[in-house]
Chain A
């Protein structure tokens, strides 16, 4: 059974940093592309970042230069390092992955990040 479990969310002040983790089981993280998707309170889904199996990474414009996606193959875990956080980064952050193709079959339960003074 595939499972994604996020952790690392919490309350942080503007300008602060946070590192999210997504532990995967039931499949190999390095064998497919992995994503972070966020949802601000009461808002829609926003794709944030992807890391492809070959290691290429991409980001939504609003986080480029501040967020870094990575993975640890030995731990089968995905990460999102978030620096210089802003109030508008407040959201539930989900990791998501495909079974095959261009759709996200698998989602974690989400972890809440709150950026506030």
Chain B
């Protein structure tokens, strides 16, 4: 069973700072890793798919990288609207898994 681990659990930063979020898989996986942003009371929004491709309408300050077991979501310069929870997500065989999430909050 594939397990996704995200770190840190909480990231306290200020607007304008760089955010680096990690997602680690319990076994080597393909590059088909996705990242989502979720704000309170809203459905998740797809940010990154296939590890590094931005979804439609996602600003260039969001970037993804990684392969194998280690993946990273980087927000180059935090905007006020970026403070939210971020989840990684992957398909293994025929089923899907989400990571536990990283909350990016105001320092």
Contact = CB atoms under 8 A, between A and B. Distances in A.
B46 interface: yes
B90 A102 contact: yes
A88 interface: no
Interface of A is mostly: loop
Interface residues of B, number: 25
Contacts of B56: 105
Interface residues of A, number: 22
A102 B34 contact: yes
B91 interface: yes
B76 interface: no
Given A56-B94, A105-B55, A108-B43, A44 B50 contact: no
A103 B46 contact: yes
A35 B91 CA distance: 12
Interface of A: 35, 37, 44-47, 50, 52, 56, 58, 60, 94, 96, 101-105, 107-110
Closest 5 CB pairs of A and B: A103-B49, A103-B34, A107-B43, A102-B32, A47-B96
30 contacts: A37-B44, A37-B98, A44-B85, A44-B87, A45-B44, A45-B89, A45-B98, A45-B101, A46-B98, A47-B89, A47-B95, A47-B96, A47-B97, A56-B94, A58-B94, A94-B44, A101-B32, A101-B49, A102-B34, A102-B50, A102-B90, A102-B91, A103-B46, A103-B50, A103-B89, A104-B44, A104-B46, A104-B89, A105-B49, A105-B55
Interface of B: 32, 34, 36, 38, 43-46, 49-50, 55-56, 85, 87, 89-91, 94-101
